[in-house]
Amino acid sequence: MSADTTSFNHPSFGRMTPDRVIVFDTTLRDGEQSPGFSMNLAEKLRMAEALANLGVDVIEAGFPVASKGDFESVNEIAKHTKGAVICALARSGGAKDIAAAGEALAPAERKRIHNFISTSPLHMKYKLRMEPETVLELITSGNAAARNLTDDVEWSAEDGSRTEPDFLCRCVEAAIKAGATTINIPDTVGYATPEDMEKIFSMLRQRVPGADQVIFSAHNHNDLGLAVANTLASIRGGARQVECTVNGIGERAGNAALEEIVMALRTRHDQYPFTTGIHTEGLLKVSRMLATITSFDVQPNKAIVGRNAFAHESGIHQDGVLKNAATYEIMTPESVGWTRSSLVMGKHSGRAAFRDKLKVLGYEGMDDTRLNEAFARFKDLADRKKVVYDDDIIALVDDEARDHDRIRFGGLSLKSISGQPSEVDLELSVDGKAIEAKATGNGPVDAAFNALRKAFPHEARLALFSVGAVTEGTDAQARTTVRLEEAGKLVDGQGADADTVVSAVRAYVHALNKLLVKRARTEPEALTA
């Protein structure tokens, strides 16, 4: 069967050329399931807008039936995000799921319901406790119900890569007959190899009636570090939609990284003659935005968006790059959003120079309140540092860009004498009300955290406390990461400041705000046969 996908009109994309690959981003749904990650409504709206501006074709906004907060997030994104198809997740066997997805998506200019059910023997027996024939019935009823609410319907075979080929063909055929227009075969547990994934898609396209009337999609997890390789192999096999996340975030080891897939297709066009609608110059900006929102830094050696991705320390490499960048760079830094700026910032720099610097660094569209707060912190930092580096500005702007809906840090005073308990006076704002608390502790950070617990009582356990320097030098800002755990829920917070204790408190406050969001989340009711 030909890989040509022009033989039918897709409800959202019309007639597609054979080389066009749809980018389906699930950062807001699957990505947010990463341990410690959590986004509030304002943060999700910012990310959705950024993804749409990046050129993402489909944004999976959430799982509406899971909680009131998830429903609201999908509904608000459907109202406000333009350009991309907005997608909501539902289970094939859940009538409430599909109804909730349809209702949440109602305001979207283009919408998709994505329903799924497990198809592997292991999942059907132990997770669903269902017979194969029951699963087939639910695939039919679920896709038919979704198709009554929208013309753009996607169906996924959860644990598809471990599903028996004959049964997988039957499931895909049932989904197509019931109205699905996109068929997704996930490697849910990251078990498959590239050879496996290419073979699965080739097999389905050859064996399943109606396969030439749908788009096949790949959703690969990274448990063996093969998610991107598996995705590229899936495209070779005939998939024309890739499901991915910014920075590769997601459950366990994460998902296939959007930026890596897109740049692999662009850089190795000789091997993969396919195109996407992604504006690659915006990749770094969106990556940094997500890192800010989630408080989860990108590892330095991360492909495409890690700070070492275009760094060269070896003398031989440096010499080669100076003579011709192509000797050691297979893509230009500018093609993914990196810039080289010679503008040095210091205490004499004004607001206009600061705004220009933010634009160069990819921070545009900040409201006046946050811009003013960031500029005030910049001036305070510049008074204490001779040179303010780009990384310093990124750290403080990221800190101000984080949403602190209920709890905000006001200030603190500290008394610490070697060999004696430290004392802290802390000021917080909780729901707009000023609160002061005093506490002692075994060191200044312990005292500050004890004061936080007095000011805002809670039982969350400190699961991680990490401090690093933003730049070199003894006057460098500290960047602190705090992870809190409560009833099995994990949240990460991050803060930066020239004062290490203040940095720690900012991180703790950020984590508390995320915990309040996560407390409202619930798990959907289990499916029953």
Please write the tens of the pLDDT for every residue from 84-135.
999 999 999 889 999 999 999 999 999 999 999 999 999 999 999 999 999 9
Does position 529 have pLDDT exceeding 60, yes or no? no
185 and 79 share one domain: yes
Annotated binding residue 219: yes
For residues 376 and 158, give the distance between their C-alpha atoms in angstroms, rounded to a whole number.
50
Per-residue confidence (pLDDT) for residue 218, from 0 to 100: 98
Does position 510 have pLDDT exceeding 50, yes or no? yes
Residue 313: pLDDT band by 50, 70, 90 thresholds?
Answer: very low
Q: Give me the domain span that covers residue 37.
A: 19-294
Q: Residue range 67-92: average pLDDT?
A: 96
Contact 203, 196 (CB under 8 A): no
In this predicted model, what pLDDT tens digit does every residue of 162-216 receive, in sequence order?
999 999 999 999 999 999 999 999 999 999 999 999 999 999 999 999 999 999 9
- 3-state percent breakdown (helix, strand, coil) of the chain, nearest 5: 45, 20, 35
| Domain boundary residue, one of 378, 398, 418 | 398
Annotated binding residue 196: no
In this predicted model, what pLDDT tens digit does every residue of 282-297 receive, in sequence order?
999 999 889 888 877 8
Residue 402: pLDDT band by 50, 70, 90 thresholds?
Answer: low
Flag whether 4 is in a domain. Answer: no
Q: Are strands 478-486 and 241-244 parallel, antiparallel or unpaired?
A: unpaired
Contact 382, 357 (CB under 8 A): no
Per-residue confidence (pLDDT) for residue 391, from 0 to 100: 77
Q: Residue range 464-481: average pLDDT?
A: 85
505 and 488 share one domain: yes
Q: Residue range 73-81: average pLDDT?
A: 97
Q: Dump strand ranges (E) for 119-256.
A: 153-158, 182-187, 215-220, 241-244
First-to-last alpha carbon distance for the chain, in angstroms, is: 36
Flag whether 469 is in a domain. Answer: yes
| Domain boundary residue, one of 367, 398, 429 | 398
Flag whether 195 is in a domain. Answer: yes
In three state form, how does the secondary structure of 81-115 look? CCCCEEEEEEECCCHHHHHHHHHHHCCCCCEEEEE
| Domain boundary residue, one of 294, 325, 341 | 294
**Residue 398 in tokens:** 């990221």
280 and 136 share one domain: yes
In this predicted model, what pLDDT tens digit does every residue of 347-394 receive, in sequence order?
777 888 888 888 777 677 677 777 888 888 888 888 877 778 777 887
In this predicted model, what pLDDT tens digit does every residue of 257-311 receive, in sequence order?
999 999 999 999 999 999 999 999 999 999 988 988 887 788 888 999 987 887 6
Per-residue confidence (pLDDT) for residue 328, from 0 to 100: 53
Per-residue confidence (pLDDT) for residue 337, from 0 to 100: 83
- Number of compact structural domains in the chain: 3
Higher pLDDT, 86 or 525: 86
What is the domain-level CATH number for residue 241?
A: 3.20.20.70
Per-residue confidence (pLDDT) for residue 342, from 0 to 100: 46
Does position 6 have pLDDT exceeding 60, yes or no? no
286 and 202 share one domain: yes
Flag whether 299 is in a domain. Answer: no
Alpha-carbon distances of 398 from 195, 293, 345, 374, 469, rounded to whole Å = 41, 8, 17, 9, 15
Per-residue confidence (pLDDT) for residue 105, from 0 to 100: 98
60 and 24 share one domain: yes
Does position 73 have pLDDT exceeding 80, yes or no? yes
Flag whether 266 is in a domain. Answer: yes
Flag whether 528 is in a domain. Answer: no
431 and 379 share one domain: no
Flag whether 476 is in a domain. Answer: yes
Higher pLDDT, 79 or 390: 79
Residue 421: pLDDT band by 50, 70, 90 thresholds?
Answer: very high
DSSP state string for 410-472: EEEEEE--TTS-EEEEEEEEETTEEEEEEEEESSHHHHHHHHHHHHS----EEEEEEEEESSS
In this predicted model, what pLDDT tens digit does every residue of 135-172 receive, in sequence order?
999 999 999 999 999 999 999 999 999 999 999 999 99
DSSP 480: E
Per-residue confidence (pLDDT) for residue 1, from 0 to 100: 34
In this predicted model, what pLDDT tens digit does every residue of 317-349 receive, in sequence order?
445 545 566 565 678 888 888 776 545 677 777
Give the side-chain half-sphere CA count within 13 A for 487: 9
Residue 526: pLDDT band by 50, 70, 90 thresholds?
Answer: low
Q: Residue range 40-61: average pLDDT?
A: 95
